[in-house]
Structure 1
Amino acid sequence: MSSKLGDGLWEAKFILPEHREAIKSRRLEEKRKAWPVLDDQEIEILQQIFTKSYNEHRKITIRLFGEFDYREVTGGVTAVQTYATR
């Protein structure tokens, strides 16, 4: 025989709306990914790949950071801006 407190019945019926929102927010925050930090060598490699794609008109696939997941984009480099935006 299961108790009413142990099988989730208590949770499902008697949780306050603000507590439910707090739980949802916490679960969403746990899925958030940290911003990747690139060192100088990795940045140099990326610059070489972009330059090669630009010069040779080749397609590349890059992985873009997102807060909750990554997204892949395929295409060619048509312009290069050399200023840093850190």
Structure 2
Amino acid sequence: VGVWVARPDKPPLPGGVMREDKIAAIGIRIRRWVTFHGIAINVEPDLTHYAGIVPCGIEGHGVTSLVDLGLPVTMDDLDLALKRNFSRFFGPVE
């Protein structure tokens, strides 16, 4: 599942549709009663590496990051925020 953010700072798509860029992906799989899960969040990647990628096969949309959106976040900041919010829902994290 892609996580998208609206980009009013970029030109709209044909028909005046607001552009959205992918910032994260969340995946869950169940196989033989075993669950697999993962999350990927773009903090500060080199976005030029995504130039030829059509995220989730949706034409006209791009890829962005927290830093590209003007949020000066580090991996440590993100790690702390994820731990705090995870703990709120699932209990303490060591």
More helix by share: 1
Bin the TM-score by the shorter chain. under 0.3
TM-score by length of structure 1 reads 0.25
More strand by share: 2
TM-score by length of structure 2 reads 0.23
